[in-house]
């Protein structure tokens, strides 16, 4: 992103919330997202640190949504997928892009996209979504 100053204030303020920051147990090298305060393997011996994920992963399962909840009518069809992050933990998320071609094993990356627009005050809410990477067959 080059045009930092043109990013809406609302987005800038919210951005840290959507950064892919989880945690990592430095004792056993397991990563967690969302962040945990206790490693389930190491328990009290575990030492957790915050960990920034790369935002890259691949689809391990998905469902295509054709009948959306109220407020999401413009977005259909879309996919809800379980994504295995490159660093080795799974996360469920909303997949955007060329979802007609969604397949298990396809690569995705984290992106910030409009989730919905609040009709009353026109406030646009952004959140984390997953975009299918182009050019992977």
Q: Which residues bind Zn ion (CB under 5 A)?
A: 25, 27-28, 39, 41-42, 46
Nearer to Zn ion, 46 or 93 (CB): 46
Nearer to Zn ion, 23 or 131 (CB): 23
Nearer to Zn ion, 26 or 128 (CB): 26
* Beta strands at 124-132 and 107-117: parallel, antiparallel or unpaired: antiparallel
Question: Taking CA 104 as the corner, what is the angle to CA 72 and CA 134, rounded to the nearest 5 degrees?
Answer: 75
Rounded to the nearest whole angstrom, what is the least distance from the CB of residue 22 to Zn ion in the complex?
Answer: 13
Nearer to Zn ion, 31 or 65 (CB): 31
**Sequence-ordered list of residues with C-beta below 8 angstroms from that of 39, at least 6 positions apart, any chain:** 25, 27, 28, 30, 32, 46, 48
Rounded to the nearest whole angstrom, what is the least distance from the CB of residue 56 to Zn ion in the complex?
Answer: 23
Rounded to the nearest whole angstrom, what is the least distance from the CB of residue 57 to Zn ion in the complex?
Answer: 21
Rounded to the nearest whole angstrom, what is the least distance from the CB of residue 61 to Zn ion in the complex?
Answer: 26
Between the CA of residue 12 and those of 4, 85, 112, 131, what are the distances in Å?
9, 25, 11, 21
Other CB atoms within 10 Å distance of the CB of residue 53: 20
């Amino acid at each position: 992103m080059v045009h930092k100053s043109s990013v809406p204030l609302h987005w800038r303020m919210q951005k840290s919330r959507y950064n892919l920051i989880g945690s990592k147990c430095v004792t056993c090298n397991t990563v967690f997202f969302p962040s945990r305060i206790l490693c389930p393997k190491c328990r009290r011996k575990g030492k957790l640190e915050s960990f920034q994920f790369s935002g890259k992963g691949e689809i391990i399962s998905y469902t295509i949504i054709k009948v959306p909840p109220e407020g999401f009518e413009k977005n259909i069809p879309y996919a809800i997928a379980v994504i295995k992050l490159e660093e080795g933990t799974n996360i469920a998320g909303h997949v955007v892009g060329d979802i007609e071609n969604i397949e298990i094993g396809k690569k995705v990356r984290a992106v910030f996209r409009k989730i919905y627009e609040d009709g009353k005050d026109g406030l646009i809410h952004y959140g984390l979504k997953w975009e299918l990477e182009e050019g992977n067959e």
